[in-house]
Structure 1
Amino acid sequence: MALQIPPLRSFVAVAELRHFTQAADRVGITQPSLSKQIHTLEAELGTTLFERGNAVTLTPAGEVLLPIATRILADVDSAHREVQNLIGLRRGRIRLGATPSLCVSLVPPLLRRFHTDHPGVELHIEESGSQDLVRDLARGALDLAVVVLPNAGPDVDDAGLTAEPLLRENLVVASLGPLPGVGTTIRIADLADHPLVMFRTGYDLRDATLDACRQAGFTPTFSVEGGEMDAVLSLVEAGLGAAVVPGIVVAGRPRLHITPFTAPGLRRTIALAHRRDLALPHSAQALRDTLIAQLHGGGLPPGVEAITQRDQSIAPTDDDGTAGRPSRR
């Protein structure tokens, strides 16, 4: 004797609802079909499962079968999900969000490595600010997002998200050549003597630079303003001024001269965010694992450090000691 899954589903539905018509609606079949499945199950077991009087009640045999059938169906559903997730590693889809600065630095080698291991998985990339990415994660439009965590923007907790800190990186000053009057490190106050290529309004690096300069007691001079990351770096390479940028984005630009800030400097934390109430699909988990392996495999540029598992037990903080929240870019 081999019990079939459809009759077990019908049995559990009737047992829980105590109503044949409502149970038929739940499992998506007609009431006569459901009754036939119950009779078939009873015939296979050699006993009745329900008392069919004014009210539908379980017989002692039905009481014994109900928890067993519930576990069987849960195992079947779990097996189906696991197999579908495994299939997803071969032909699934991942919706990944990242900020513009990360799209030109961290993301390309990550996707190249992941695509090599999982060529059948479709990769959809959204380039946007951290606040927009947090909103898209919360509404289910993204599976994962790589966001920046300075002390600005909405808290991921408020959006029902989990953010796993991945790395901390120093901001540096990029210029075409050594800046006059500047040694191996630069103070924020030294920026008063050098025109800057500035990001557009709303870019978090613009806000971080302006805030640091104000705290140092001056307003910086702009030679050019209004660009995104690629444009700003190209303008710096053209000799139009210096720019405050993440160290990771200039690692592949040998024409640029990099000057770190004098301690404590300016830092930011990069995190991988996803919805707290949903388990990651296997394909998204595989991408996360690939990213972790990439960060801990060495080869990070100076001023960029991967955050260890021990570090993750400590809430990320900014240089002023405040907890990190997603930035706009």
Structure 2
Amino acid sequence: MTVNLPQLRAFLAVVDAGGFSAAAAELGMSQSAVSHAVASLERELTAPLLVRATPVRTTALGDRVLPHARIALSAARSVEQIAADATETMTGTVRLASTPTVCQGLIPGLLRHWREDQPRITVRVFEGDSAEVSAWLEDGTADVAVLIDPPPATAGRCPRPGPGIQLATDCYRALLPRDHPLADEPFVDIRDLEDDQFLISPNGCEARIRAIHSLAGLRFTPAHRVRDLATLISMVQAGIGVTVLSEVSRSLIPPDLVLLPLKPQTSRRLVLTGPHARPWHPAIRTLAESAAGHLARTASRSPLPAEGPAPPSPQHTP
């Protein structure tokens, strides 16, 4: 039995893209070449890996092969990148996963910076909720992720000693209409919003928002729960209620709303890191250090308010 990397690469591309045509476009190959690679892999394994439907889905055997195929390609990319790093020519594609708020508020600026600072590295973004992002990082769907308050072990094994980079300390803010009675105050106490209808997006931030209410001695009784961030912001614009968002959301806030410092104060750490159980893609260190330098320079040019997020700084995690 001879299984090769082009076969595994085609199989993963079809699974991730949902079909042969989309996989061919992703790989820069003809659809017939992708079909041939997958079919030859199935012949080697003497059983089908895919159900040819719309979208394509994996068979029981395909489900079992999938994580091993991801690990094999990840290891091959690491070998290639270690060799490239030795000659100081870091190249390749890095798949970055993060939550919607971080993807919308922080990632676009980093992508623009990386495109200029590291033109040989292509960064592809995957957006998902906190649980999906963590799962993608560990099963090999993503090579790197921006995680929220990861435990120290998350920045584990790396092909060489390297940091998980803390991109920002992201403080929580009250989001109010500009005509709200508290809109001109220097900060908002969560207790002063007790008479307003509270809106919540049930994602990774809900536990922290519950904690803010608990610290203030308040019951957490949201009037509405909406999944999409744009819907949440639109409902505040319409005067339906108020909410709490993190500072990284500021670039998404329209001019008729205000994002104000909140008491009790609480924050979260945004950390760019690789997987715990697999070697890190060698380009992660390059991207992380490039991002930290860029964000530090941006913060120095645009000083943040006293209670805003702390300037990003490298954080070496064991």
Partner of 1:157: 153
1:105 CA displacement: 0.6
TM-score by length of 2: 0.61
Partner of 1:59: none
Q: Does 1:172 align with 2:173?
A: yes
1:265 CA displacement: 0.7
1:142 CA displacement: 1.9
Kindly provide the amino acid, as one letter, of the partner of residue 308 in structure 1.
S
Kindly provide the amino acid, as one letter, of the partner of residue 176 in structure 2.
S
Kindly provide the amino acid, as one letter, of the partner of residue 258 in structure 1.
L
Partner of 2:192: 190
> What are the equivalent positions in structure 2 for 1:1-329 lying under 5 Å apart?
81-83=82-84, 89-90=90-91, 92-119=92-119, 121-149=121-149, 155=151, 157=153, 160=156, 163-177=164-178, 179-180=180-181, 183-200=185-202, 203-253=203-253, 254-262=255-263, 265-275=265-275, 278-282=279-283, 284-297=284-297, 298=299, 299=302, 302=305, 303-309=308-314, 312=315
1:106 CA displacement: 0.7
Equivalent pairs, count: 227
1:129 CA displacement: 2.9
Kindly provide the amino acid, as one letter, of the partner of residue 123 in structure 1.
V
Q: Deviation digits for residues 3-60 of structure 1, max 9, x if unmatched?
A: xxxxxxxxxxxxxxxxxxxxxxxxxxxxxxxxxxxxxxxxxxxxxxxxxxxxxxxxxx
Q: How many Å separate the matches in 1 of 2:105 and 2:119?
A: 21
Q: How many Å separate the matches in 2 of 1:204 and 1:212?
A: 14
Could you say if the C-alpha distance between residues 236 and 279 of structure 1 is closer, same or farther in structure 2, counting changes exceeding 3 Å? same
Contact residue 200 and residue 224 of structure 2 kept, 8 A:
yes
- Structure 2 unpaired stretches of 5+: 1-78, 158-162
Q: How many Å separate the matches in 2 of 1:158 and 1:214?
A: 28
1:186 CA displacement: 1.6
Contact residue 167 and residue 307 of structure 1 kept, 8 A:
yes
Greater Cα radius of gyration, structure 1 or 2: 1
Could you say if the C-alpha distance between residues 89 and 159 of structure 1 is closer, same or farther in structure 2, counting changes exceeding 3 Å? closer
Identity level (%) = 22
Q: Deviation digits for residues 256-301 of structure 1, max 9, x if unmatched?
A: 2122113x5121111111136525423x333223311221012375
Contact residue 97 and residue 133 of structure 1 kept, 8 A:
yes
Kindly provide the amino acid, as one letter, of the partner of residue 197 in structure 1.
L
Contact residue 110 and residue 290 of structure 1 kept, 8 A:
no
TM-score by length of 1: 0.59
Partner of 1:40: none
Q: What secondary structure sits across from 1:212 in the alignment?
A: helix
Contact residue 146 and residue 270 of structure 1 kept, 8 A:
yes
Q: How many Å separate the matches in 1 of 2:164 and 2:286?
A: 17
- Structure 1 unpaired stretches of 5+: 1-77, 316-329
* CA RMSD after TM alignment: 3.2
1:84 CA displacement: 7.1
